[in-house]
Structure 1
């Protein structure tokens, strides 16, 4: 029996410090997923990319970017790095619902709903990487 193994893939995109970067990230994620026949992950992955990039745009003055890779068949790990060392919820602990009067904080709560796994890591020289995975069974 001949088995075909798909090579692992990784995409990285440095994004401009621009409010339209979230839309660019969402479109890039959907294009990559379509190219790898993972279009079914496009809605959740696009939403997550948009939220993480928006967070980077709003909370850091430095550069930021998007990284996509396939950790396994039918899965996507999406990461957004930036220059801020501060880790937002739900990445720093259990997800919490913002107060009804809060003007922000709802976007990252979507991570807890849409992602199968999430985490963060500090980057050498400062900054952080926030990552999410989709494509598992919820």
Structure 2
């Protein structure tokens, strides 16, 4: 059975927090011997956290855990309980830089989704994805 763990990094509503989350995630995965997942996981976390910071006004959090089945779960929590906008399929996105995030997540993750959450004492949601180790 794989080693399980669960980390949560609370972040302010600041785009610089995206870099902090990426680097923290890289360190977590490297120290747990999952270096092969680092590049994809960093991309996924950056998209999820970036959306949380850009589209809400409150604090956010990055949560990363490994399940007993060996799956790495990456989630971004924010204070807005509204569901995320449906992703635009890759190749059909507008020319603008924005609007591709969840399309990338859908293309790179094994599974992704969202769920309402009151975990941190406020209403909000998790947008999450998984990667098989």
Contact 1:38/1:74 (8 A) holds in 2: no
* Number of residue pairs matched by the alignment: 128
CA distance in 2, matches of 1:6, 1:134: 14
From the two aligned structures, give the one with the greater strand fraction: 2
CA distance in 1, matches of 2:93, 2:4: 42
Contact 1:78/1:132 (8 A) holds in 2: yes
> More relative contact order in 1 or in 2 (CA 8 Å, sep 6+)?
2
What TM-score, normalized to structure 1?
A: 0.83
1:127 is the counterpart of 2:124: yes
Shift of 1:72: 3.8
2:12 to 10, 16, 25: 16
4+ aligned runs moved over 3 Å, structure 1: none
SS of the equivalent of 1:62 reads: coil
Structure ID, larger Rg: 1
Computed over aligned residues only, the root mean square deviation of the Cα atoms, in angstroms, reads 1.9
- Gaps spanning 5+ residues in structure 2: where? none
CA distance in 2, matches of 1:23, 1:54: 10
1:117 is the counterpart of 2:111: yes
Shift of 1:133: 0.3
